[in-house]
Chain A
Amino acid sequence: MAFLFSMVVLMVGVFAPNSKGLVAGLAVLGAISTFVTAAVLLAAGFEGEFLGNAYVVDAFALYFKLIVAFSALFAILAAIRWSGRTGDAPEYLMLILAVAVGAMMLVSMRDLFGLFVAIELATIPSYALVAFDRRRRESSEGGMKYLLTGVMASSILLYGIVLIYGASGSANLADVGQAFSGSLSPVALLGLVLLISGFAFKLSAAPFHFWTPDAYQGAPTSAAAFLSVAPKAATFAILLRVLLEGMPDAAPTWTSVMAFLAVLTMFVGNLLALRQRNVRRMLAYSSIAHSGYILGAFAALRGAGLDTAVQAVLIYMAAYTIMNLGAFFVIDLVGEDGKSFNGLFRSRPGVAACMAVFMAALVGIPPFSGFFGKAWVIFAGVQAASAATYIVVGALVINSVLSVPYYFGIIRNMFFEDPVTGAEEPKGTGIVLFCVYALAIATTVFGLFIGPLSALAERSGLL
């Protein structure tokens, strides 16, 4: 619980002083200390249960807490300048930290109602984050759309939880497992479907993805970057926990649902991304597509593929966090219109090279991080060896190729086109630039550390 504690201390600290520098320093410090605490606990092999088995700290939870703290750290670093300008720095940074706290609590929940509370704790501040940029109309529009769909998703999720609770008589995942063994009662089945639909909203999986592009376009860039990774990572984690701990015997049912969602989400995300001229919207659709790839691993959570599929989710999420944060930060540096990337190779070769790395990683070209995520999903799919997973693997291959034109459209603009004359001056340097370079290096050398990472992922498995 130490990381939670540090978060609480931090939030108090954020409210008290008025100096911007101190607030920023505290926020960074908080994120770093959380990261370090989680890392130490993970290294020490700490495991513990709190609140009567409802809140668990195991390697799996710690792994995702690491991801959340990592992305919070980078989001805060990138936000310092921007939020300093608007004059609302404490509130903005506090919101980011609040989402992080919610996401970190979420990954530890073993109780369906606790899960709901944590998910709301992570979601409600994120509505405010999206709508934070008061000077832009899209920001409030995106925030509003996000709020409406988000509330609807929450109620569907809650409805599903209640139905499962009704069917099993307990909200604890271990007891829920009892109700989901043998043949499923209609109530339980409906509960399962509603639960998955609610999660699908949060994960922006098709056909529940409509809020994503508007929310990401409206949000300040650092918030969009953060929201596209941290809450998503936590939601994937808790979905994994609910499905594996709560209803392992119903695996044939939900893996087929997941396979269907995965294939649909991949195609929807990629086909819509192809039509975007705005880089930020393009990345929003790309994040939908990546949700689809990760859901593909969920489809392989059965039989011989089980181990590898859990690893695939963990590795994919780490890889995705690094490359996607980087890509969003480059937008912060360059601009969100596709044309503003023109000729970047000549004006700012370093940034252009970093963006090329992120785009190649998002396509899944080795040796960059995204390749390993996709490779693990394919591993899991082949090991599970069911018709559904073969279809998922096929769809993943096709979609990787489908995604080339839009990711490489950016590279094309940066390297092959001439700079637009009268383009706006480069904005935001210093810290953001540092973040971009750091993330680009991490994306590139990801493969060197894939061995230890996969061992870690294996150890933190839920099995």
Chain B
Amino acid sequence: MITTITIFFPLVAAVVMLAFPRTADARTVRYTALGLAAVPFLLTLYIYFRHRGDLGAPSLTQDVNWIEALGIGYRVGLDGLGFGMFFLSALLTLIAVVASWDVRENLKQYFGILFIAEVGMLGVFAAQDLILFYVFFEITLIPMYLLVGVWGDENRRPAAVKFFIYTFLGSTVMLAGFLALGILSGPNFSIDALNGGGLPRGAQVAIAAPILFGLLVKTPAVPLHSWLLDVYVSSPTSTNVVLSGILPKLGTYGLLKVALPLLPQGVEPYLPIIAALGVVNIIYGSFVAFMQPDLKALVAYSSIGTLGFILLGVASGNAVGLNGAVMQQVTHGLYSALLFILVGVIASRAGTRNIRELGGMAARMPWAGGLLALGALAAMGMPGLAVFVSEFMSIMGGFVAYPIAGALAALGIILSVMYLSYMLRRTIFGPAPERPALAAATDAGPVEMSAVVPLAFLLVLLGIFPGLLISVQRPAVELLLAAIGGS
């Protein structure tokens, strides 16, 4: 019941926002949105501290028949695979509300639509039914399309349309796979009941193809990624937080929650391909990031790159790699949200995102600059920060299963060190070019700091105590291993 309340509270919040009178001033709207966004976050905190040992508790799960004849139900519940992202969805929506300073018009609609997207995000990570999973998966689609298309920069329209068509194509193909899977096994769409996969191998392999395609488009794995850059670059900062922090995980979480355990034999032949795609993501993302003149584009490619570690961990099929992948979903969300917000702050001060025109920001914006450095170090996989733990585990797991892929992924870390230190040198260190905007730049204000500090704090906290997260996810990973017959 708590889970259901957490998922659907944002819907109430959205209605409240949309029902606000037109005359309400921006300040009231922002504070109301903040208060409403805090509720699901506090609920997830409550769930963590109360139930972290037994996420399967009856008070967290619900199973109601929806379409009885076809074995479709409203089944929600939490497990270690999804809880980290469930928590992060609530957290990043709250942070997106804080970081919405560059959204100036139609504020209440902006928050309303953001909250509708939150319903979908929270729902995906709690759904225990294939159809419900798909419904929540798609609920995020139109809100994100509108957030980018209405509030983005001047290039927003083609970006939003491209985003929509690509991901809708992916998810529709995925739906066909889901329906085939559910119908051929019963019909039954309960993820629990389908766990372990009962279909013959040939059917599994055939069904896995469309499902993997849809999930990999969403992630995106590299040859399917061309929708991503325009969307990331065109979005307002606070949309970026959600777009890079949560949405890719809808794809990777689908791999962990649906593709692997429900079609263990069907996915098997594709695992080396997924591992290879992961490595391609890492290396390609790093190389292209190197060449970006635009700070935001650089962060976007860096974000694509580190998603590769998740794919590698998923493909490894062993405990270390899978734990790494599950955790990397969360840590990736933390650091990419952090970087996108800071890029937004710096761009608003300097009046440009072009790396060549920036420099010496650390002197003028010590806090923003310092936190940008922290985020970059996290992205490089610096020990002591959370990303290190998860990337390292993913590489370890990947190395055991695919030595070459693991070695190349480790090489990718070196590449990321190269472009990120280049970025740091050009933006926050080094000589400042003579530009009036730079000279007048002030440090991040209290609102901006309150958006980034929690993220930085969690990056450090989970870097020092990764057990806080891994202890929650371990039982679920063991179940997953049992389902796929790995070790």
Q: Using a CB-CB cutoff of 8 Å, which residues 3-43 of chain B contact chain A?
A: none
Which residues on A sit within 8 Å (CB–CB) of B175? 375, 378, 397
Is A117 close to B, CB under 8 A?
Answer: no
Is B103 close to A, CB under 8 A?
Answer: no
Contact of B183 among A371, A379, A447, A450 (CB under 8 A): A379
Is A405 close to B, CB under 8 A?
Answer: yes
Q: Given that A365-B138, A450-B67 are contacting pairs, would A401 and B176 also be in contact in the complex, using a CB cutoff of 8 Å? A: no
Check A401 against B150 for contact (C-beta < 8 Å).
no
Which residues on B sit within 8 Å (CB–CB) of A405? 161, 165
Q: How far is the CB of B165 from chain A (nearest CB, A)?
A: 6
Which residues on B sit within 8 Å (CB–CB) of A382? 179-180, 183-184
- Indicate with 1 or 0, residue by residue over A306-340, a CB within 8 angstroms of chain B CB atoms: 00100000000000000000000000000000000
Is B142 close to A, CB under 8 A?
Answer: yes
In the complex, the chain B residue whose C-beta lies closest to that of A304 is B183
Chain B interface residue count, Cβ-Cβ cutoff 8 angstroms:
36
CA distance A415 to B180 in the complex (A): 36
Check B176 against A397 for contact (C-beta < 8 Å).
yes
- Indicate with 1 or 0, residue by residue over B91-135, a CB within 8 angstroms of chain A CB atoms: 000000000000000100100000000000000000000010011
Is B172 close to A, CB under 8 A?
Answer: yes
Q: How far is the CB of A391 from chain B (nearest CB, A)?
A: 13
Q: Using a CB-CB cutoff of 8 Å, which residues 392-415 of chain A contact chain B?
A: 393-394, 397, 400-401, 404-405, 408, 411-412, 415
Check A458 against B69 for contact (C-beta < 8 Å).
yes
In the complex, the chain A residue whose C-beta lies closest to that of B109 is A349
SS class of chain B's interface: helix, strand, loop or mixed? helix
CA distance A405 to B157 in the complex (A): 13
Which residues on B sit within 8 Å (CB–CB) of A375? 131, 175, 179
Q: Given that A365-B141, A416-B160 are contacting pairs, would A454 and B180 also be in contact in the complex, using a CB cutoff of 8 Å? A: no
**Interface size bracket, A side:** 20 to 34
Check A378 against B169 for contact (C-beta < 8 Å).
no
In the complex, the chain A residue whose C-beta lies closest to that of B148 is A416
Check B66 against A401 for contact (C-beta < 8 Å).
no
Check B139 against A401 for contact (C-beta < 8 Å).
no
Which residues on A sit within 8 Å (CB–CB) of B134? 366
Q: How far is the CB of B250 from chain A (nearest CB, A)?
A: 14
Check B172 against A397 for contact (C-beta < 8 Å).
yes
Is A383 close to B, CB under 8 A?
Answer: yes
Which residues on B sit within 8 Å (CB–CB) of A401? 165, 168-169, 172
Check A415 against B179 for contact (C-beta < 8 Å).
no
The 9 closest A-B pairs by CB, nearest first: A366-B135, A382-B183, A416-B149, A401-B169, A366-B138, A378-B179, A416-B157, A397-B176, A415-B150
* 20 residue pairs from A and B, CB less than 8 Å apart: A363-B168, A365-B138, A365-B142, A366-B134, A366-B138, A378-B175, A378-B179, A379-B70, A379-B187, A382-B180, A382-B183, A383-B183, A404-B164, A404-B168, A411-B142, A411-B146, A412-B160, A416-B160, A454-B67, A458-B69
Beyond contacts A371-B138, A401-B169, A416-B156: 13 other A-B pairs, Cβ-Cβ < 8 A, are: A346-B106, A365-B138, A375-B179, A382-B183, A393-B176, A404-B164, A404-B168, A412-B157, A412-B161, A450-B66, A451-B65, A451-B67, A455-B69
